[in-house]
Amino acid sequence: MSSWGDELAEMRAAWAKRPRLPPPEWFPTPPTWAAADPVFNGTHAAELWTKGDVDWGWVLMANNAAWEAGTVIAPGAVLFSDDVVLRQNPFRMSEVAERVWAMRKAPPTRVGLRAFKAWALDDNAPNPAQRVPHAFTEGRVVWVGGVLMQRDSLVDRRLQHSLIPIVRAYSHELTTIALAPLLAWSEGLKARWAPDVAT
């Protein structure tokens, strides 16, 4: 198993020891624009806590506020995958992210890909999660889904890197995700994320 696979196994073991009931911060008050969104308004939060599992995610995009210190809960979109190769080397998802992001400068000509662009690069982030077309993934199964960047789920309360652990769950044929809480983060990941504040 690769070091990234080892780290994922470590985080899943930590997640398996989580309290039975989620803490209050797992249910943040969503922004006004998210009140009607079942992914962003907390409808799936309890299920993610009880039935979800930890996986690697790669930030495709995030509101600028998420990269800055503060308390604003900002939307974002995260790539994730069941693919064994990508779980063992999650940095390869950056290649998928680059191909998807390139659509902003060079719009695809195929109708299906144009529809995916409009959905995946929505500034309010895509919901619920959908598969990324194979044209961007070299045939591997990769998903992209919207998340709220909860500050309590981030070391130093802000995004600093694109590789990030998520919690994912399936519900009525929908895949929903959230940022993994700090209790699931490995110590190595905390140290790499923000060396000055890691505990």
Q: How many other CB atoms are found less than 10 A from the CB of residue 87?
A: 20
Local confidence band at 114 (pLDDT 50, 70, 90 cut-offs): confident
Distance, in Å, from the CA atom of 195 to the CA atom of 175, rounded to the nearest integer, reads 33
Say if residues 81 and 144 touch (Cβ distance below 8 Å).
no
Local confidence band at 195 (pLDDT 50, 70, 90 cut-offs): low
More confident residue, 54 or 44: 54
Helical spans, DSSP H, in the chain: 3-16, 45-51, 84-88, 93-101, 111-120, 134-137, 187-193
Q: Where are the beta strands (DSSP E) in 23-162?
A: 53-62, 74-81, 130-131, 142-149
Q: Widest CA span of the chain, in angstroms?
A: 49
More confident residue, 2 or 16: 16
Sequence-separated (6 or more) residues with CB below 8 Å from residue 77: 59, 60, 61, 62, 120, 125, 126, 144, 145, 146, 147
pTM above 0.75, yes or no: yes
Distance, in Å, from the CA atom of 63 to the CA atom of 33, rounded to the nearest integer, reads 14
Query: Which tens digit of pLDDT belongs to each residue from 57-81?
Result: 999 988 888 998 888 888 888 999 9
Where along the chain do its domains lie?
3-19+34-189
Residue type, 95: E
* pLDDT greater than 50 at residue 198: no
Local confidence band at 123 (pLDDT 50, 70, 90 cut-offs): low
